[in-house]
């Protein structure tokens, strides 16, 4: 009887070792979750207005600041008041500190006839006629709700005092990351339009 018990116990141990080996191999061969990369959208390029020279004045956008909580590769989701989640598999293709000024510069080039735009990190030829400084105070992504951007900004002409502005824009979005990113792009478009109005006002007051 003892011999039979020993044989059964040995068989069970061998079975457990085999199962553990299979589970280890399966875990090692499983496919990890695939990362997805997102980029903020710029407006489509537009043709210059008739009889308008291209590059009459230069606008440089930046530097900008963003909240530390979102200054990371992953998209940060606001899930409740005082609580965020970091989406490890949903990432920005480039840092927000470079994406945001790029998008705003592209919008300003489309909105302002005769404008040539660059971001602060680029080496634009010539002294800028206007510099746009931006402090992003909120950059929130709420699933199934939308995107909210709050920013303080200033338009600084080469001569004369700055024009100061503040923008708060919320855009609705569904549950997917694509919709949230598109909502942020629309919000930046709205902020760009407000900045463009300030630049036009600064140009109008030039002697």
State pTM to two decimals.
Answer: 0.80
Residue 12 CB contacts under 8 Å (≥ 6 apart), including other chains: none
Kindly give the interhelix angle for 177-204 and 96-111, rounded to the nearest 10 degrees: 50
| 3-class DSSP state of 41 | coil
Q: Is 71 exposed, middle or buried (0-12, 13-18, 19+ CB in 10 A)?
A: middle
For residue 55, tell me if it sits in a domain.
yes
Question: Per the structure, how many domains does the chain have?
Answer: 1
Q: What does the mean pLDDT of the chain come to?
A: 85
Whether residue 149 is predicted with pLDDT greater than 90 in this model: the reply is: yes
Q: According to the model, what pLDDT value does residue 200 have? A: 96
For residue 18, tell me if it sits in a domain.
no
Residues of the chain by 3-state class (helix, strand, coil), percent to 5: 35, 35, 30
Whether residue 191 is predicted with pLDDT greater than 50 in this model: the reply is: yes
For residue 8, tell me if it sits in a domain.
no
For residue 72, tell me if it sits in a domain.
yes
Q: According to the model, what pLDDT value does residue 20 have? A: 43
For residue 190, tell me if it sits in a domain.
yes
159 vs 61, more confident: 61
Assign residue 72 the CATH number of its domain.
3.40.50.10610
For residue 7, tell me if it sits in a domain.
no
6 vs 128, more confident: 128
Q: Which of 100-114, 124-138, 143-157 has the lowest mean pLDDT?
A: 124-138
Q: According to the model, what pLDDT value does residue 24 have? A: 45
- The tens digit of pLDDT for each residue in 83-125 reads 999 999 999 999 999 999 999 999 999 999 999 999 997 776 7
Q: According to the model, what pLDDT value does residue 55 have? A: 64
For residue 142, tell me if it sits in a domain.
yes
Chain centroid to CA 32 = 25
For residue 17, tell me if it sits in a domain.
no
- The tens digit of pLDDT for each residue in 12-47 reads 455 454 444 444 444 444 566 789 999 999 987 655
Question: Could you list the residue range(s) of the whole structural domain that residue 166 is in?
Answer: 36-204
């Amino acid at each position: 009887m003892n011999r039979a018990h020993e044989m059964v116990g040995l068989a069970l141990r061998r079975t457990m070792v085999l199962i553990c080996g299979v589970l280890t191999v399966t875990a090692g061969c499983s496919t990890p979750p695939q990362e997805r990369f997102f980029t903020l959208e710029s407006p489509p390029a537009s043709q210059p207005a008739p009889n308008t020279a291209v590059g009459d004045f230069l606008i440089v956008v930046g530097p900008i600041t963003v909240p530390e909580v979102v200054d990371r590769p992953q998209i940060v989701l606001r899930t409740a008041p005082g609580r965020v989640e970091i989406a490890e598999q949903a990432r920005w293709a480039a840092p927000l500190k470079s994406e945001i000024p790029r998008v705003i510069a592209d919008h300003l080039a489309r909105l302002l006839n005769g404008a040539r735009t660059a971001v602060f990190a680029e080496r634009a030829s010539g002294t800028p006629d206007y510099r746009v400084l931006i402090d992003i105070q909120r950059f929130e992504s709420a699933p199934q709700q939308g995107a909210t951007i709050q920013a303080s900004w200033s338009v600084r002409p080469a001569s004369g005092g700055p024009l100061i502005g503040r923008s708060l824009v919320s855009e609705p979005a569904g549950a997917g990351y694509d919709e949230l990113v598109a909502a942020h792009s629309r919000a930046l478009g709205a902020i760009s339009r407000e900045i463009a109005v300030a630049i036009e006002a600064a140009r109008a007051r030039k002697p």
